[in-house]
Amino acid sequence: MSLAASSGSVHVRAPGKINVYLGVGGRHDDGYHALATVFQAVSLYEDVIARDADDFSITVTGVEDDGSVPLDDRNLAMRAAKLLATATDHPGGVALQIRKSVPVAGGMGGGSADAAAALVACDALWGTGLSAARLHDLAARLGADVPFALHGGTAVGTGRGDQLNPALARGRFDWLLVTSDEGLSTPAVYTRLDELREEEGALADDPPLSLDVPIPVLQALRTGDAWQLADALHNDLQAAALDLRPDLAQTIERGVAAGALHGLVSGSGPTVALLCADPESAQAVQTALREDGLDPLHVHGAVPGARIIG
């Protein structure tokens, strides 16, 4: 049993993510779309503290108490803890305390980070000692983005986004995140994309034969060049997110006008991620946008995945 677990509690921190590239293919029979994506974990974290308990329970801080984060089996962290208990025949339960910083329904994988953190925390608390591969398998059963929240760093995701390969990435990228009070539903954004493609006659009967991450995206990450990455940023879901939330286009424009290199909707949105040249430039753009009435968060990537703290 680890030192943390012997004290009856384990604290795990897991990052939110930005998709610096997100290519979406056709919808499969299971309802999921084929993806080619590049995730980058950024320095905005979910904290999960797991304590020994007879039953399973969750408390959440850092969000409005408006029911947007369920405290029952609809909560992905709760499902993660129960899945691990079943998979390892663990007899007891756990009390999960979640401190949220990643926006809820913001397109940054906050719920997936909670689930990844809960898996790592319960694995340590219960001394189940699963291999990284087993944890990855359980994570993939919980949701498409959960394996990446375990993994962190910068990675290429294929399949539903759950088949990961680390991407060579150098240096640090500075981002400003403009969050929204109202979230967007991920399934609704994917459905809107399908509708838009049908309307435009652009949706082929079959998924594209080749759904690959373009070479310039990988090159920009390898060289750590923010200008190159700015040119290569792309999100197929953006058209659908902007269709549902036209104001986000203006947020991107305002960010670029204030000095960001480029901006895009993060994942299914509505968080807008603005890539800046360096930390100083990010601070200057942040100040300019604050004067303009926005309140962006300054984060950087890449950072590690779910980790035990202390």
Which residues are the active-site residues?
17, 145
Is 9 annotated for ligand binding?
no
Nearest to 140 by CA among 88, 83, 72, 189: 83
In the complex, what is the shortest distance from the CB of residue 211 to ligand C5P, in angstroms, rounded to a whole number? 11
Amino acid (1-letter code) at residue 96: L
Applying CB under 6 A, does 160 fall inside the site for ligand C5P?
yes
Between 33 and 90, whose beta carbon lies closer to ligand C5P? 33
Applying CB under 6 A, does 262 fall inside the site for ligand C5P?
no
In the complex, what is the shortest distance from the CB of residue 153 to ligand C5P, in angstroms, rounded to a whole number? 19
- Residue 121 · residue 10 · CB < 8 Å: yes
Only one of the segments 27-35, 58-66, 78-86, 246-254 lies at the binding site for ligand C5P (rule: CB under 6 A); that segment is 27-35
Between 37 and 179, whose beta carbon lies closer to ligand C5P? 37
In the complex, what is the shortest distance from the CB of residue 278 to ligand C5P, in angstroms, rounded to a whole number? 32
Applying CB under 6 A, does 186 fall inside the site for ligand C5P?
yes
One of 35, 121, 125, 169 touching ligand C5P (CB under 6 A): 35
Nearest to 17 by CA among 248, 170, 235: 235
- Residue 155 · residue 20 · CB < 8 Å: no
- Residue 229 · residue 217 · CB < 8 Å: yes
Between 143 and 296, whose beta carbon lies closer to ligand C5P? 143
List, in sequence order, the alpha helices (H) in the chain. Answer: 3-6, 76-88, 110-125, 132-142, 146-151, 186-199, 215-223, 226-232, 238-244, 247-257, 279-291
Applying CB under 6 A, does 190 fall inside the site for ligand C5P?
yes
One of 8, 31, 70, 304 touching ligand C5P (CB under 6 A): 31
- Residue 266 · residue 176 · CB < 8 Å: no
Hey, which residues between 90 and 149 contact ligand C5P (CB under 6 A)? Answer: 143-145
Applying CB under 6 A, does 33 fall inside the site for ligand C5P?
yes
- Is the C-alpha dihedral spanning 179, 180, 186, 188 positive or negative? negative
Tell me whether strands 234-235 and 9-27 are parallel, antiparallel or unpaired: parallel
Is 8 annotated for ligand binding?
no
Applying CB under 6 A, does 161 fall inside the site for ligand C5P?
yes
- Residue 77 · residue 48 · CB < 8 Å: yes
Between 22 and 229, whose beta carbon lies closer to ligand C5P? 22
Q: Is 238 exposed, middle or buried (0-12, 13-18, 19+ CB in 10 A)?
A: buried
* Binding-site entries: 103-113
Q: Which residues are annotated as a binding site for ATP?
A: 103-113
* Footprint on this chain of ligand C5P (rule: CB under 6 A): 31-33, 35, 143-145, 160-161, 186-187, 190
